[in-house]
């Protein structure tokens, strides 16, 4: 592999996180056991929770450990909906942006089918920015019917960072909780749960250099959730199951390293991203940047996100041709891999199906270098030409 540019799908694990995982995985004992071995492992879990809480701007008691972002999203959305509706049957509406990750969208779809939920879609602009005024208007039509607002912190495809603090403030005017999927944001943009005021925040380890299979949900202490799993009553009774001490430690180590180096790494990665985007556009191959992009800015767009649309090309063929050239990237969310259809994110922000099919997501991270950017720009003209020929454009 010449260049790995799919950090938004999974970022390569940090050496420090792998070492921490191996060290704790070798320890005997169940964190729920009362003997010395169990207490030692439990100490690892709680120290890891404290570290994660500090890096998230939360209290340790608010951090519920999960198997990743998808479980955290499910617990937040379904758990909050069911608890809020149980307290007041009028609360059936979920206010949702149409560009959410499928972990949120599909959970809401299940609640519509099985639990009587209804959806009010929030307005987004061409850059994928959720309208604060639109949220206010959506709530105002019937505040008492709203169970939950869910808007992701940063979009996993086009990289747009949302005004979560403003959105949370509007929701709180009516006592409505706000959930945000911060899977792509944590460790990459400034993120302080308490300062922003989000009530439920989903994060995961493998987007910032931790191992796959470990995540967390920040649950503000006054928020009621109905658990999705039942058993030993771990994690405040919200997520039963034996605690994964090795994963918790590896997650905490990776997160602390990512947050600690965020400012300097953001500046470095933004420089690579901007060179990649400028270079791609300058090829004069009909390549256009999607989302909010201003050179040098790593706050309104994820620092490592270089999402583009290639006119007249097919995203899947672009991906396969780049892969053959030793470059790993994607056409969108890896969680929807194998499904050949236009991105719901791009169609929601106004792109036609034909345009959306030419999407390409190149994402950089802590292992990325100038050589990676050079490798992409060197092969992109030929890749675009061959992709268009495959779909009968420009042949």
Q: Which residues are catalytic?
A: 335
CA distances from 67 to 30, 73, 92, 239, 240 (A): 17, 11, 28, 10, 11
> What distance separates the 2 farthest-apart alpha carbons in the chain?
72
Rg (CA), the chain: 21
Residue whose structure tokens are 């199951």 = 241
CA distance 12 to 210: 8
CA distance 276 to 270: 10
CB 200, CB 218: distance < 8 Å: yes
Q: Are strands 215-219 and 178-181 parallel, antiparallel or unpaired?
A: unpaired
CA distance 310 to 294: 19
DSSP state of 88: -
CB 148, CB 77: distance < 8 Å: yes
CB 285, CB 310: distance < 8 Å: yes
CA distances from 320 to 35, 156, 275, 315, 387 (A): 53, 21, 23, 9, 9
Burial class (CB in 10 A: 0-12, 13-18, 19+), 317: buried
Range list of H helices, the chain: 15-25, 36-56, 69-87, 102-115, 132-140, 164-172, 193-196, 245-260, 262-282, 315-324, 344-348, 353-356, 370-390
Tokens of 30: 């169940």
CB 150, CB 80: distance < 8 Å: no
Length of the chain: 395
Burial class (CB in 10 A: 0-12, 13-18, 19+), 231: exposed
């Amino acid at each position: 592999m010449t260049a790995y540019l799919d950090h938004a799908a999974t970022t390569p694990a940090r050496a420090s996180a792998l070492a921490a995982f191996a060290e704790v995985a070798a320890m005997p004992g169940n964190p729920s056991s009362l003997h010395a071995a169990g207490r030692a492992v439990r100490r690892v879990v709680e120290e890891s929770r404290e570290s994660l809480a500090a890096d998230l701007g939360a209290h340790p008691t608010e951090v519920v450990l999960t198997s990743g972002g998808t479980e955290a999203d499910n617990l937040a959305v379904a758990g909050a909906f069911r608890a809020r509706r149980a307290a007041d049957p009028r609360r059936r509406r979920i206010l949702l942006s149409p560009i959410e990750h499928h972990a949120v969208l599909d959970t809401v779809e299940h609640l519509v089918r099985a639990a009587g939920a209804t959806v009010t879609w929030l307005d987004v602009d061409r850059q994928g920015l959720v309208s604060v005024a639109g949220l206010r208007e959506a709530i105002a039509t019937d505040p008492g019917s709203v169970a939950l607002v869910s808007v992701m912190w940063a979009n996993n495809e086009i990289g747009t960072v949302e005004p979560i603090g403003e959105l949370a403030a509007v929701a709180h005017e009516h006592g409505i909780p706000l959930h945000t999927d911060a899977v792509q944001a944590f460790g990459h943009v400034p993120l302080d749960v308490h300062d922003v005021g989000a009530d439920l925040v989903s994060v995961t380890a493998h987007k910032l250099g931790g191992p796959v299979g470990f995540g967390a949900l920040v649950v503000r202490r006054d928020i009621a959730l109905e658990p999705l799993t039942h058993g030993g009553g771990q994690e405040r009774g919200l997520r039963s199951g034996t605690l994964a001490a090795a994963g918790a430690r590896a997650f905490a180590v990776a997160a602390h390293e990512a947050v600690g180096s965020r400012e300097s790494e953001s500046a470095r990665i933004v420089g690579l991203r901007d060179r990649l985007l400028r270079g791609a556009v300058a090829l004069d191959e009909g390549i256009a940047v999607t989302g909010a992009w201003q050179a040098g800015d790593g706050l309104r767009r994820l620092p490592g996100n270089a999402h583009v649309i290639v006119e007249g090309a097919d995203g899947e063929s672009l991906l396969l041709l780049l892969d053959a050239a030793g470059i790993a990237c994607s056409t969108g969310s890896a969680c929807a891999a194998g499904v050949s259809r236009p991105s719901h994110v791009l169609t929601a922000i106004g792109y036609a199906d034909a345009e959306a099919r030419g999407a390409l997501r190149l994402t950089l991270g802590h292992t990325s270098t100038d050589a990676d950017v050079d490798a992409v720009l060197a092969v992109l003209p030929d890749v675009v030409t061959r992709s268009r020929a495959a779909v009968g454009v420009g042949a």
